[in-house]
Amino acid sequence: MGFYVDRIAPRLTHLCCGSRRIAEQRGLIVPQAEGVVVEIGFGSGHNLGFYRKGKVTQVVGVEPNVGMLRLADRNLAAAPVPVEFHQGVAEDLPLETHSADTAVLTYTLCSVAEPARALSELRRVLKPSGRLLLLEHGRSDEAGVARWQDRLDPVWTVCAAGCHINRPTRQAVEAAGFSIEQLDTFYLRGAPHVVGFHSRGIAVPR
């Protein structure tokens, strides 16, 4: 699995997460970031083109997979804002407490090893006035779809190098000490319902 996780899965993820429909969703949430931004699951840097120069002072990206970082060069070169990225895990962020104005969580909660701990770290590094911008796929609100997600998740997780399709986004964010200010839930157009249930919105530390 080492070669698959390091070489094959990053390229598949890069292609899937760079699709036009996903880019449209990124464009609805990422431009709202401001100040110092911490982005976990930085991946190959698909969010970078959506940050606004003059509004964002710095992006600190954290990504555990070296294979993903190898694919980030083109997006880094075209980034409109300063970027500092680290190979590391979301559960142990290299930032001081209350040092970030915005946290960006896009297509990451599905694959982190410890979602609760990762969200707790985001809450720690956010200023009390900070905001969490999220765009995630996860557990459907429809019971029938959720049951199929539970059935398929063990196989999907292996094929997708650790991605889970049945993690409940809203519940996880609220359990970590955030209040949801705005949340839109929907199925991504063109995607099977079992993998396409999305949550897009804004949360703030309680």
- Per-10-residue mean pLDDT, the chain, length 206: 58 65 95 98 91 97 82 84 93 96 96 96 98 98 98 91 93 98 96 96 97
How many Å apart are CA 143 and CA 137, to the nearest integer? 16
Locus of tokens 């990422």: 30
Q: Are 164 and 153 in contact (CB under 8 A)?
A: yes
Give the model confidence (pLDDT) of 108-129 as tens digits: 999 999 999 999 999 999 999 9
Give the model confidence (pLDDT) of 82-113 as tens digits: 999 899 999 999 999 999 999 999 999 999 99
Query: Where does residue 41 rank: exposed (0-12), middle (13-18), buried (19+ CB within 10 A)?
Result: buried
How many Å apart are CA 182 and CA 104, to the nearest integer? 15
What does the H/E/C string look like for 65-111?
CHHHHHCCHHHHHCCCCCEEEEECCCCCCCCCCCCEEEEEEECCCCC
SS3 69: helix
